[in-house]
Structure 1
Amino acid sequence: MDVREIIARRAAQELEDGQVANLGFGIPTQAVNYLPESVTLIMHTENGAFGFGARPSYNTCNSDITNAGSEPVTLLNGGACMSLATSLGAMRNGYIDVTILGALEVDQEGNIANWAVKRNGMWWPGIGGAMDLTYGTKKIIATLQHTDKKGNSKIKKHCELPLTGKGCVKTIITEKAVFDIDAGQLILREVYPGLSVQDIQNITEAEFIVSSTLKEMTL
């Protein structure tokens, strides 16, 4: 199981029956493929659809029905497509219960940076709909790899990249751990099987406390 699948599988477990859930670009789009069978909800995608399901087979996919990453999805019975303007309006106005977003960095205060890197003196590619989601969604779940390619922590004391949303993240999921954020406090809730709290401390810049109910991640 690769890193992206580990994160997507664990993120899917955060979704609850009856929710309206948005899946952002990148790793989050895969969560719908691992949704527990007991959970029935309405999936939303920023590019303009409510009521989509898991990835279809190659022979049944429709290139006009896609998620935020332009990957084919299944439009379920009762599902609806709409303009981007209508979709963004729903995102801003509180119709989404939970959003799973990919991130470049998150920090112990619940800030998230997921839209920009600096190249040739310029920030790009652009903030997109994530800004609307962090403003209008009740719960934000951030998904990202725990460290960058050089082994530097992406779970920061303070984000260094331009922010997408401030103080909005409630849960952080990496391939190594699951954290909650409560009242500005980062709380380690789960660790990947075989890892210790010390292992997580060694790769995490942010300061955190350990939950009294700490357990291993299940996938």
Structure 2
Amino acid sequence: VDCIVVAHDEDHPMSYATHYDAALTGEIRAPNDGLAKMTLDERKVVARRACFSLKPGKVVNLGIGLPEGVAFVASEEGLLDYITLTTEPGVFGGLPASGRNFGPSINADAIVEMNQMFDYYDGGGLDMCFLGAAQISKEGDVNVSRMLKNKLTGPGGFLDISQNTKNICFMTTFTAKGLEVTVKNGKLTIKNEGLIRKFLPEVVETTFSGDEAVRRCQKVTYVTERAVFQRSAEHDRLELIEIAPGVDLQTDVLDQMDFEPVVSPYLSVMDSRIFSDEKMCLDMFGSLQDRVSYHEKEHALFLDLAAIAIDT
């Protein structure tokens, strides 16, 4: 230790934006129905599409930035009771705060030390994570640690989280700096394209390796406001699997990338509910029919009752 700074004010602000909030410390339980909803823009579109990956009973990490929107959409859709959201500072459950308040959660179930949370992450405790992405390469590599060659941003907890989670969802807008879109009537319209492209032949620095993810058998999805990609063992580069209704595949997607992805022969259109003001009414549980499978070789019927509670 080189220096100790003595702070005389005993009432320190608990975050950059909030001086004190008892709902963030766990002293009180606050109602969720009074929370402000996200504006339906490109950021909410990304968050809404990402929420389609949520499964009941799973433990999830949310990164800072676009992933924060997953918490708000999950709250709007009434899903918070069926999943456990976590953040790096040591919070389990509740509704993670966003923006300059990021870190604590409203109505958290448990608060632990940050080093204990990373022990949990490093031990494989997460089922899924939602992380941001500044640059994405043709192989699915992601850069979040160095935007300029002579300036290091650093990866933070990104490495621990991304290397120890089997299901990863990267979230980003397709372009940046000047992107303007209109989301209306179940469609997306690109009004003005961003000046900075996110999908590049190579990233400045590899913070996450697509090839290594394939070797580790990780499921990796890349969600943007107009397209969804995946990286799998079937191809040595990104595969385009979904596009938004209202966008042109060539002009709005392929022409805005600095490499050519694999276009899935089963390319589908993103769910139109994502692009409408109404609640999506997401169903994480699925029908009973989807939970039943018959294995003829073993002559056995399998019934998946994960996250199902039975009242008697």
TM-score when normalising by structure 1? 0.83
Paired with 2:91 and 2:270, the residues of 1 have a C-alpha distance of 31
1:127 aligns with 2:169: no
Matching residue of 1:162:
205
Structure 2 counterparts to residues 133-172 of structure 1, below 5 A: 133-149=161-177, 151-159=195-203, 161-167=204-210, 168=213, 170-172=220-222
Specify the alignment match of 2:246 in structure 1: 194
Give the superposition deviation at 1:144. 0.9
Equivalent residue for 2:128? 98
Query: Distance between the aligned counterparts of 2:93 and 2:255, measured in 1?
Result: 41
What are structure 1's unaligned runs of at least 5 residues? 55-65
3-state SS of paired residue (1:91)? helix
Give the aligned CA root-mean-square deviation in angstroms.
Answer: 2.2
Q: Match for 2:84 among 29, 35, 42?
A: 42
- Give 1:69 deviation, angstroms: 5.7
| C-alpha distance in structure 1 between counterparts of 2:196 and 2:238, whole Å | 18
Asked whether the 8 Å contact 1:11–1:173 carries over to 2, the reply is yes
**SS where residue 123 of structure 1 aligns?**
coil
Q: Closer, same or farther in 2 for the Cα pair 1:173/1:185, shift >3 Å?
A: same
Q: Please give the residue correspondences for 1:1-219 in structure 2 after superposition, counting only pairs within 5 Å.
A: 1-35=40-74, 36-37=77-78, 40-53=82-95, 66=97, 70-71=101-102, 73-76=105-108, 79-118=109-148, 121-124=150-153, 126-149=154-177, 151-159=195-203, 161-167=204-210, 168=213, 170-183=220-233, 184-199=236-251, 200-218=253-271, 219=274
Q: Secondary structure at the match of 2:119?
A: helix
How far 1:67 sits from its partner (Å)?
A: 5.9
**Residue number in structure 2 paired with 1:59:** none
Give the superposition deviation at 1:152: 4.0
Residue 139 and residue 69 in structure 1: after superposition, are their counterparts in 2 closer, same or farther (change >3 A)?
Answer: farther
Give the % identical residues.
Answer: 29
Tell me the SS of whatever aligns to 1:202: helix
Counterparts of 1:38 and 1:8, CA distance in 2: 14
Change (3 A) 1:38 1:68: closer
Deviations 1:114-171 (A, max 9, x none): 133238x3322x2210011111111221111112335343122322x22222123711
> In structure 2, how many angstroms separate the alpha carbons of the residues matched to 1:177 and 1:206?
15
Please state how far the C-alpha of 1:97 moved relative to its aligned partner.
1.2
CA contact (8 A) 1:25 1:101 kept: yes
Q: Give the number of aligned pairs.
A: 203
Contact 1:99–1:141 (CA<8 Å) still a contact in 2?
Answer: yes
**Counterpart-to-counterpart distance in 2, 1:156 and 1:99:** 23
Q: Deviations over 1:170-201 (max 9, x none)?
A: 11111111111112332211111111321311
Q: In proportion to residue count, which structure has more strand?
A: 1
Amino acid in the other structure paired with 2:225: E
Letter in 2 for 1:155: F
Residue 91 of structure 2 contacts residue 105 of structure 2 at CA under 8 Å; is this kept in 1? no
| Preserved CA contact (<8 Å) 1:25 1:69 | no
